[in-house]
Amino acid sequence: MNLFKTTAAALLMTSGLVVSAQAEGLSGTLKIFSDMSNPAPRAAMEGMAERFGALHPDLTVEVTVIDREAYKTQIRNFLTADAPDVANWYAANRMKPYVDAGLFEDISDLWASPELADLTSTKGAMTLDGKQWGVPYTYYQWGVYYRADIYNELGLSEPATFDEMKSNCQAIIESGRKCYTIGTKNYWTAGGWFDYLNMRTNGYDYHSSLLAGEIAWSDDGVKQTFANWRELLDMGAFVDNHTAYSWQESLPFMVQGDAAAILMGNFAVAPLRDAGLDDSKLDFYQFPAINSAVALAEDAPTDTFHIPANAQNKEAARAFLKFVVSADNQTLINNGANLGQLPVNAKSSVDDDKFLQEGFVMLSSNSPGGVAQFFDRDAPAQMAKIAMEGLQEFMVKPDNLDKILARLDRAAKRIYK
């Protein structure tokens, strides 16, 4: 456990953070439980606690850092028995069990305050039953990372529509390459393709309802998503034998020029750069539109803070959540020396990295259709496992679709009951 009680002047001078005295008179102890156990996230968490404590000298801020995997097994127990005032977790379906159990506090009134006015793109991920149950503190974009030199060689432009995407793909195939590398050995990469194809075909609300068990997998909308996916499969768009590869093991196809692109989160950039693809060869585009009637939604897995319902110092906890999402703090914790991800506040500054810059613009300005959390966060764990196995099977044996959808419907009836 780490205790932070420092002088405001020293910490605010060294951090360069400009924050108004937003909640004078806070006192007592603010207990924070965090799963940020890796070195850089831990430093970001401890830095936030120090800076917040510096603003409130009569408040003692206690941070308990727990190993991330251990945290997942302990969270229900400590929320029930000896709750902290603030706890880390994740958005959307991952917070639903604790919302349903009455273990997270409704903070909808905070979302109506000016301090959270610039977090609208993530509001949907924090909403269940029309109420908000926490705040985000960092997220990252998904999209298509591609070989710009191959596109230039073939005279291709970034596609804005699915037809343009398929046209590009045909040209890439005719050049002797595959359009996309992918490794589905661990299933979830197929989930990423389904997320985008389904959100582009049917929209964010439909996609969320499907993964919440409110729409059948045999629904016509789902079938249209798979029909769009099959067009790419029938073209031979993906690398062969992808079930044998993890996502990391699929990267050499792109590095060596045997495949032109990958649909992946921004975490793929570092290994691609390390493998020799500098920014003159590597670029990014937003997954293109399929159905012009639906707004473009994005996968952007979001990490969050919540106030447990059994918290003792809710006044300080609410002030801390406002502090977390402030533009200056968001700039500081998400820079390359700390989390190296995207700030959730649209007024924050972003590191001078072209992919972070593009992702920030996309998620802050160009994604009115909603922010999804990724397939295995938006669906219950048991359903996600069964469904992603089916998605991988479809990529290998698309003629099995009706059997796959029937199997998923049976599983959904059992799991969502």
Does 101 share its domain with 234? no
370 assigned to some structural domain: no
pLDDT band (50, 70, 90) for residue 110: very high
pLDDT in tens, 209-222: 999 999 999 999 99
Identify whether residues 386 and 318 lie together within a single domain: no
pLDDT computed for residue 48 by the predictor:
95
Q: Is residue 149 part of a domain?
A: yes
What pLDDT band is residue 24 in, cutting at 50, 70 and 90? low
| Percent of the chain residues topping a pLDDT of 70 | 94
Same domain, 134 and 155: no
Q: Is the pLDDT of residue 15 over 70?
A: no
Average pLDDT (69-87) is 94
**Predicted confidence (pLDDT) per residue in 271-295, tens digit:** 999 999 999 999 999 999 999 999 9
> What is the tens place of the pLDDT at every residue in 331-343?
999 987 788 899 9
CB 245 within 8 A of CB 185: yes
The mean predicted confidence, pLDDT, of the chain is 91
Mean pLDDT for the stretch of residues 223-245: 98
Q: How confident is the model at residue 232 (pLDDT cuts 50, 70, 90)?
A: very high
Residue 353 is assigned to a structural domain of this protein: no
For 307-320, write each residue's pLDDT tens digit: 999 999 999 999 99
Q: How many domains does the chain have?
A: 2
Residues 157 and 243 in one domain: yes
- Of 117 and 168, which is predicted with more confidence? 168
Co-location of 193 and 89 in the same domain: no
Q: 196 with 296: CB under 8 angstroms?
A: no
If pLDDT is split at 50, 70 and 90, which confidence band does 366 have?
low
Predicted local confidence at residue 352, as pLDDT: 87
What is residue 367's predicted lDDT score, i.e. its pLDDT? 58
Looking at the fold, whether 171 and 277 belong to one and the same domain comes out as: yes
Alpha helix locations (H) across 56-187?
Answer: 68-81, 96-100, 108-111, 148-154, 162-174
**Nearest-angstrom CA–CA distance, 9 and 28:** 20
- pLDDT-based confidence at 253, cuts 50/70/90? very high
pLDDT reading at 14 higher than 70: no
363 lies in some domain = no
pLDDT at residue 8, rounded to an integer? 34
Q: What is the CATH number of the domain that holds 321?
A: 3.40.190.10
28 SS3 class: strand
Residue (of 147, 143, 168, 145) closest to 281 by Cα position: 147
Above 70 in pLDDT, residue 79? yes
Same domain, 186 and 227: yes
Tell me: do 164 and 220 sit in the same domain: yes
In the block, which residue shows the tokens 């993890």?
246
Residue 337: its pLDDT value, please? 72
The lowest-confidence range among 9-13, 66-70, 147-151, 411-415 is 9-13
User: Residue for token digits 């009706």?
Assistant: 402
Q: Residue 11 phi/psi, 5° resolution?
A: -70, -40
What does the pLDDT read at residue 126? Answer: 93
* Residues 151, 113 share a domain: no
Residue 100 burial by Cβ neighbours in a 10 Å radius (0-12, 13-18, 19+) = exposed
* Strands (DSSP E) found in 148-217: 178-180
Higher pLDDT among residues 307 and 9, named by residue: 307
For residues 45 and 111, membership in a common domain is answered with: yes
Residues 71, 150 within the same domain? no
Q: What pLDDT is attached to residue 363?
A: 86
Instruction: Say if CB 387 and CB 312 are below 8 A apart.
Output: no
- Is 262 inside any structural domain? yes
Report whether pLDDT(22) > 50: no
Answer yes or no: do 342 and 386 share one domain.
no
Asked whether residue 359 is domain-assigned, the answer is no
pLDDT at 368: 64
Does residue 361 form part of some domain? no
Domain that holds residue 25: 2-140+301-348
Query: For position 7, what pLDDT does the model report?
Result: 32
Confidence of residue 351 (pLDDT cuts 50, 70, 90): confident
- Does residue 120 surpass a pLDDT of 90? no
Neighbours of 334 (CB within 10 A): 26
| Residue 416: per-residue pLDDT | 93
For a pLDDT cut of 90, what percent of the chain falls above it? Answer: 79
